[in-house]
């Protein structure tokens, strides 16, 4: 049994600089997951996005939601040894900028799962305010 908060590398093959979760706070296998990502301000992307007014790129927030969803999928025994990959993004909405110092609360819930892939809905929030929401489609493949 996993105790929380937990190291996301228990589930994910991602590593720095592309591991965008600091801690997994809750998992319901094959159903949903919650995680956090603390933006320290030292991340390389802030230097160029945007100089003098750093903002977390929206695509990285989508990726962090996807990584959170991947934890839910990979904690399900049916997907042991698999790798979920992006298949698409639908209905993405960017509602509030995420800046250095923010603690991003991530949530992703699976709405459809099959042997070949699935779909999830997720959010990235700061202080209870939704900053990004999207539907994510993914395919599942064997890890190389």
Active-site residues, by number, are 49
Angle value at C-alpha 13, between 42 and 129, nearest 5 degrees: 50
33 strand-pairing partners? 27, 108
- The whole-angstrom separation of Cα 144 and Cα 32 is 25
């Amino acid at each position: 049994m996993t105790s929380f908060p937990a190291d996301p590398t228990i589930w994910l093959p991602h590593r720095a600089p592309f591991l965008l979760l600091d801690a997994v706070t809750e998992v319901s296998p094959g159903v949903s997951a919650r995680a956090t990502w603390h933006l320290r301000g030292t991340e390389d992307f802030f230097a160029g996005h945007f100089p003098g007014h750093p903002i977390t790129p929206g695509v990285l927030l989508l990726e962090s939601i996807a990584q959170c969803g991947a934890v839910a999928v990979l904690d399900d025994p049916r997907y042991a040894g698999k790798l979920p990959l992006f298949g698409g993004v639908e209905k993405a909405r960017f509602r509030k900028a995420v800046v250095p110092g923010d603690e991003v609360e991530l949530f992703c819930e699976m709405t459809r799962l099959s042997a070949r892939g699935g779909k999830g809905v997720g959010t990235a929030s700061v202080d209870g305010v939704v900053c990004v929401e999207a539907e994510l489609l993914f395919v599942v493949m064997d890890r190389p």
